[in-house]
Structure 1
Amino acid sequence: MTDKITKLFHIKYPIIQGGMIWVSGYKLASAVSNSGGLGLIGAGSMYPEVLREHIRKCKKATTKPFGVNVPMLYPDLAEIMKIIVDEGVSIVFTSAGNPKTWTAYLQQHNITVVHVVSSAFFALKAQDAGVDAVVAEGFEAGGHNGREETTTLTLLPIVKEKISIPVIAAGGIATGRSMLAAMALGADGVQVGSRFAACLESSAHDNFKQKIIEATEGATQVTLKELAPVRLLKNKFYEDIQELYANNGSKQELQTLLGRARAKLGMFEGNITEGELEIGQVAALIHRIEPAATIIEEMVAEFKKVQQEVAAFDF
């Protein structure tokens, strides 16, 4: 299974683990990398020195390539980028900001840069900024979403038509079957978030993992569009948001309800009632808490099996 993505990152399989907040520590990143994919440390929920610690621990846990995911709304962004350079990280995924701001700086230090986009418009902007690849993330994805509300099925071929650099598909991908579908639509690789969030090495709280594997169709919803669209599991916190909407709550009231560290409360500390539980629609297909290595093995095996099944079609 050799393609643009495996060559770009020097990995065995074109499977990238999402760099999710409160979920993607060094244990998960190293486990994915050791299994042939690309593991990402999620810097979005880490203070600078915590990130440094995770990078150093990841280096000890794997000799394989790994990267860091950096949401560019981070308040200590300059310090974060300096740590990434100082610690010799070779791959950075950026999101939630202008890729022009840091791409050249990172590439000057021999770092491969990938930017997450939700539309062809932003994919072109990222390509113009000089990134090495983009992640085209559909509306099915968990966590913060694009305002365009374009699904992966539609987004991928549109982005592929517009740009020449490699495209990684994200949003609704958790199986070998969906991986093959993404590649049929033009993806050069896939990014998997929700399934790895529920895996053994994820730093998510066990309560949150259990809620993921219990999720059924329709269990997630995108909300808080006035602040930043986010897909999360429906729980008491979600119902409180809906009640505020029903009472014509203001943007400020929504911000007050959200407060601070709501995602940490739910995903990391395990308060499944009051916490923000960010996960994708594909949670309805996740039924077991497994090691990262098992997930990758299952995805690759199913990919090859379905590839043969599709090849047997004769029109």
Structure 2
Amino acid sequence: MKTRITEMLGIEKPIVQAAMGWIARAPLASAFSNAGGMGIIETSSGELEIIRGEILKMRELTDKPFGVNVAQAFVRDPDIVRFIIDQGIRFVTTSAGDPQRYTATLKEAGLTVFHVVPSLSGALRAVEAGVDGLIVEGGEGGGFKNPKDVASMVLVPQVCEAVDVPVVAAGGIMDGKTMAAAFALGAEGVLMGTRILSSAESPVHQNWKDAIIGADSSDTVFLNRRGPGPALRALRTERTERLQAEGTENIFGEFADTKTVYFEGDLEAGIALTGQVAGRIKSVRPVAEILAETMDEFEVAVQRLSGFAGG
């Protein structure tokens, strides 16, 4: 399969892995790249010396393309761009901030840059900054969000109609059906977050994976819509239901002991970022199976739609 995304990134399948803090490291990202997609290493944890080691591990675990994400709201090291360039990275996704901040410097060093956007205005600003592509993320996705959230069904075609750069659709994507829908809306690739969070290679505790598998599509909450700080979508728990009802003056402080949530399975110890698509995930599967099945289902969905057109 060839799209501008596969050609630009040198990958077999136009599927990108979400850059989840503490989670998107070498074991998960290499599995994704080896399966033909674009594996991404996170930096939002701020643990750059550990990240340096993860990048080295990536090169031991895969000879396929991979990238690094820079979540600007979490950058602690002012030299993070130099850090990424020095590691020999060729593809970067930037998010949670102004695309004007790093794009020019990264592109001058020869890197390909995609920026994550939650709105049309954000997309236009990123294109003006010179990005090579966009990751357009609807409000149904997990993680940090624009308080004025727009669903992927509306946002993706709105952006695709307004820009010439290739678009990766994110938010609600987990299989071939949703990938085909994204392509019908104008995207040339998709990003998976919650589906990969619950994969066999994901390092998070089984309690979180089980909560995703047992969830309905209404079992997430949209927090901090009125600020201060960003909004976010997370798994519904007693803690997050309280935050939804009462609000908070410091949403970042409410994450508390993140590693306890992620790796020890105490989902009340902080906030477990999760998308609405959890309601459709019914099993823990290896990444390679998820991506292969997605491509097979995509082809079936496209053929089915072609049959309607032919009729």
Cα–Cα, structure 1 residues 14 and 257, in superposed 2: closer, same or farther, change >3 Å? closer
Cα–Cα, structure 1 residues 269 and 305, in superposed 2: closer, same or farther, change >3 Å? same
Count of residues in Structure 1 that have an aligned counterpart in Structure 2: 308
**1:248 is matched with which residue?**
none
My pick for the range that moved more, 7-16 or 104-113, is: 104-113
**1:231 is matched with which residue?**
233
Matched AA of 2:278: A
SS at match of 1:231: strand
Contact 2:46–2:75 at 8 Å: present in 1 too?
no
**2:171 is matched with which residue?**
171
What are the Cα deviations for residues 193-216 of structure 1, in whole angstroms up to 9, with x where unaligned? 110000111122222112111111
Contact 1:267–1:275 at 8 Å: present in 2 too?
no
Contact 2:254–2:271 at 8 Å: present in 1 too?
no
**1:58 is matched with which residue?**
58
**1:304 is matched with which residue?**
299
Output the CA distance in 2 between the equivalents of 1:310 and 1:118. Answer: 28
Contact 1:267–1:276 at 8 Å: present in 2 too?
no
Contact 2:29–2:40 at 8 Å: present in 1 too?
yes
What are the Cα deviations for residues 267-303 of structure 1, in whole angstroms up to 9, with x where unaligned? 2332112321101000111111111101001100100
Output the CA distance in 2 between the equivalents of 1:88 and 1:43. Answer: 15
Cα–Cα, structure 1 residues 82 and 162, in superposed 2: closer, same or farther, change >3 Å? same
Matched AA of 1:222: F
Matched AA of 2:118: S
Matched AA of 1:134: L
Match of 1:244 among 243, 246, 253: 246
What are the Cα deviations for residues 236-275 of structure 1, in whole angstroms up to 9, with x where unaligned? 2113314534xxxxx53xx289445444332233211232
Contact 1:267–1:278 at 8 Å: present in 2 too?
no
**2:147 is matched with which residue?**
147
Q: Which runs of 5+ in 1 are unaligned?
A: 246-250
**1:95 is matched with which residue?**
95
Output the CA distance in 1 between the equivalents of 2:159 and 2:241. Answer: 35
SS at match of 2:73: coil
**2:36 is matched with which residue?**
36
Give matches, 1:1-315, under 5 Å: 1-225=1-225, 226=227, 227-245=229-247, 251-252=248-249, 255=250, 258-259=253-254, 261-313=256-308, 314=310
My pick for the range that moved more, 131-140 or 235-244, is: 235-244
Q: Could you tell me the TM-score, scaled by structure 2's length?
A: 0.95
Matched AA of 2:291: I
Matched AA of 1:303: F
Output the CA distance in 2 between the equivalents of 1:206 and 1:198. Answer: 9
Output the CA distance in 2 between the equivalents of 1:164 and 1:202. Answer: 34
Matched AA of 1:235: T
Cα–Cα, structure 1 residues 44 and 269, in superposed 2: closer, same or farther, change >3 Å? farther
What are the Cα deviations for residues 59-101 of structure 1, in whole angstroms up to 9, with x where unaligned? 1110000001110112424333222111101111000111111
Contact 2:68–2:91 at 8 Å: present in 1 too?
yes
Please report the RMSD computed on the Cα atoms of aligned residues, expressed in angstroms: 1.6
Matched AA of 1:31: A
